[in-house]
Amino acid sequence: MGEYKLDVLGEMCPLPILRSDKLFKTLSPGDRLVVVTDHSCAMKGIPLHFKKLQAETQICLVAKGIWEIIIEKKS
């Protein structure tokens, strides 16, 4: 049940999705990945991408223009 943080601040699509996808694949079920991004498209694209992988996602606006996307690996 680990929590991993991925900082993709300053990176634009498709990098945030590519990097979080790569890291997500190494996680075990129950692990959480927190992606920190300032890319307004990634806050929409990342949840959409991970929905296909059956993962729960949650978005938090943590500062002006910065989002944390919490992705939980199910199985």
For other proteins, the binding residues (CB under 8 A) are 9-15, 17-19, 22, 38-41, 43-45, 47-49, 51-52, 56-66
* Between 31 and 72, CB nearer to other proteins: 72
* Between 30 and 41, CB nearer to other proteins: 41
Min dist. Cβ of residue 29 to other proteins (A): 19
In our burial notation (b when 16+ CB lie closer than 10 A, e otherwise), range 34-71 reads: bbbbbbeebbebbbebbeeeebebeeeeeeeeebbbbb
Q: How many CA atoms lie within 13 A of 8 on its CB side?
A: 29
Min dist. Cβ of residue 28 to other proteins (A): 22
Min dist. Cβ of residue 53 to other proteins (A): 10
At residue 66, what are phi and psi to the nearest 5 degrees?
-125, 130
